[in-house]
Amino acid sequence: MNTILIIDDDKDLCDLLHDYLTPEGFDVESVHNGLEGVERVLAEPFSLVVLDVMLPVINGFEVLRRIRAVSRIPVLMLTARGDDVDRIVGLEIGADDYLPKPFNPRELVARIRAILRRAESELKPQPHMDSGRLIVGDIELTTGTRTILRSGQKVELTSVEFAILEILLRLAGQVVSRDDLVRQATGRNLSAYDRSIDVHVSSLRRKLGKLLNDSERIITVRNVGYLYSADL
């Protein structure tokens, strides 16, 4: 059974999520301050963490930083509705996804399942195949070991960033719609006002840098999606 740790100081919300997630097949625990949350994550083998930004003792960003220093456990952050800064910071630190409050519990379940499916697929052993290696310009992506090299130097990406980059590299020179990127990279459909894919792409640009001719690697095609430049 998948075990979920909820780190949120809203005890009523924690109780509600416990009552909702348990019948969905999850074993749910909750803690109500950031420091205790870090301690629980490091002490127990949870499947996923649901982490609020606003927490007593230490906030959600610091909790995520401490978790990411030692663990790749999937983390879904809860943010204030409309606060793009929180979402961007959370994703850049290493959150797998975010959900603005207030939210529909069914959407939370859908996002949890999508994250867990992605995490489980990453744990499956990959056969050694030449087709598992992609080279586009100065970027080398190896699916079996899930590593990215830029000019021979390793680049650290989150699981979602890796999935997005793999899709774009396989289709270098072709436009990939935002809907297709979200569906293939996260396992869920793009919802209205969901800008997470744009934040992930922005983070990828920052981590990978520009091409040698100082142009963007990942080009925004307005109102459509993104394209990885084949003009290398």
Is residue 68 within 8 Å of residue 93, measured between CB atoms? yes
Give the model's pLDDT for residue 127. 40
Residue 72 half-sphere exposure toward CB, CA atoms < 13 A: 12
pLDDT (mean) for 115-128: 62
**pLDDT above 70 for 124:** no
Angle, CA 37 vertex, CA 33 and CA 42 arms, to 5°? 160
The highest-level CATH class for domain 130-228 is mainly alpha
pLDDT (mean) for 40-59: 93
Residues of the chain with CATH 1.10.10.10: 130-228
Instruction: Give the tokens for residue 45.
Output: 């083998």
Report residue 16's pLDDT band, with 50, 70 and 90 as the boundaries.
Answer: very high
Give the model's pLDDT for residue 91. 82
pLDDT (mean) for 92-115: 89
Range of lowest pLDDT (98-102, 162-166, 194-198): 194-198
Residues of the chain with CATH 3.40.50.2300: 3-123
What is the distance between the alpha carbons of residues 226 and 131, in angstroms, rounded to a whole number?
Answer: 23
**Residue of 9 and 146 predicted with greater confidence:** 9
Q: Which CATH superfamily is domain 3-123 in?
A: Response regulator (3.40.50.2300)
**pLDDT above 80 for 192:** no
Is residue 201 within 8 Å of residue 218, measured between CB atoms? yes
Name the pTM for this structure. Answer: 0.65
What is the distance between the alpha carbons of residues 200 and 186, in angstroms, rounded to a whole number?
Answer: 11
